[in-house]
Structures are given as structure tokens and as C-alpha cells.
Amino acid sequence: MMLLSQEDFSHVVEHTPLISIDLIVKNSKGEVLLGKRVNEPASGYWFVPGGRIFKDETLHDAFLRTTNSELSLSLEQSQAKFYGLYEHFYHNNVFTNNFSTHYIVMAHEIETETIPSINHQHSEYQWFTIKNLLEDESVHGYTKDYFRKIEGEKLNVK
């Protein structure tokens, strides 16, 4: 697997969708782990951990790499629950504001009690209740989307 140069990756972001894995990390209390994003898109927002899939990288290897780099855990995709397929559209990107970013996201739910070490993507991590993350303006809307339907279903049952 060869990583692209910044120039080549910028060209890819400008002209194609990226495929990524988002990790909906819950603890035994049902709280959700979010990281405060450092980089664009979504810099400064609380967001679920995740990462893009590299060319010629299998889904299995991408999941292992993403859980390791984002959570300091070695988890296989079979240890997660597939949460769904989502699309994320951003008006900017990691390089400049001159073009948008489009992600096709495979969301997976995992359970752990561990808070990972800070990395180049997040300045801090925090556990949120679903109710709190839905109400918090600093939690990105795409993160909230993972929980709006579930919370709505719970509210309709009562």
C-alpha cells in the first residue's frame, strides 16, 4: 500500500468521493466517545473517530488500522456491529476551502471503556450521553445523524 503525495491526495479529494470508516464507540453505560477534530473538514467539532480507506487496502486491514490509529485498540471488523452506510458532504477540505469533500461512510459500532491517547486528528476525547450530544451545538451534525433516528424511535415508543 502506497500513500499518495499531498498534491495527489488533494486532486483525489477534489474529484472523487472518499470511502471511510466511522467508529461509533460506546461504553457499558451507553455513552458515546467523541473526539474534538483538529483538521478540516469539521475542525473544532466533536465527531466520532474514524478514517478513510486507502487504495489497495482491504476493509479488514482498514478497520484494524483505523481502530489502532484512532483508538489504540486492535479490533477486527467482525467484532463490530455494522451501523449503516452514510454520506457526508463538506464545503471545505483538509487542504484549502477552494473545493468540497465528499465521504461515503461505513459506520460501525463497538464497545470499549478505554479513552484513547490524543492523536493528530483529535485534541481531546470525551464521553457523551446520546441526549447530551444531540443537544450540544459543538457536536457535528453528521455525528448527531447517527443517533437522531434511534432517539426518535425511543421517543415514539413512550
Domain of 84: which CATH number?
3.90.79.10
Contact between 115 and 33 (Cβ < 8 Å): yes
In the chain, which residues have pLDDT < 50? 155-158
pLDDT computed for residue 2 by the predictor: 65
C-alpha cell at 22: 466511522
pTM (2 decimals)? 0.89
Q: Which residue range is the domain that position 105 belongs to?
A: 12-157
The answer to the question of residue 118 being in a domain is: yes
Q: Which residues contact 31 (CB under 8 A, 6 or more apart)?
A: 127, 128, 129
The answer to the question of residue 135 being in a domain is: yes
pLDDT computed for residue 155 by the predictor: 46
Alpha-carbon span 157 to 116, nearest angstrom: 35
Q: How many domains does the chain have?
A: 1
The answer to the question of residue 5 being in a domain is: no
Concatenated DSSP letters for 107-125?
EEEEE--PPPPPBTTEEEE
Alpha-carbon span 59 to 38, nearest angstrom: 25
The answer to the question of residue 36 being in a domain is: yes
Contact between 67 and 75 (Cβ < 8 Å): yes
The answer to the question of residue 1 being in a domain is: no
Helix (H, G, I), strand (E, B) or coil at 99: coil
Q: What is the pLDDT of residues 47-83, one digit of tens each?
A: 999 999 999 999 999 999 999 999 989 899 999 999 9
The answer to the question of residue 43 being in a domain is: yes
pLDDT computed for residue 158 by the predictor: 34
The answer to the question of residue 60 being in a domain is: yes
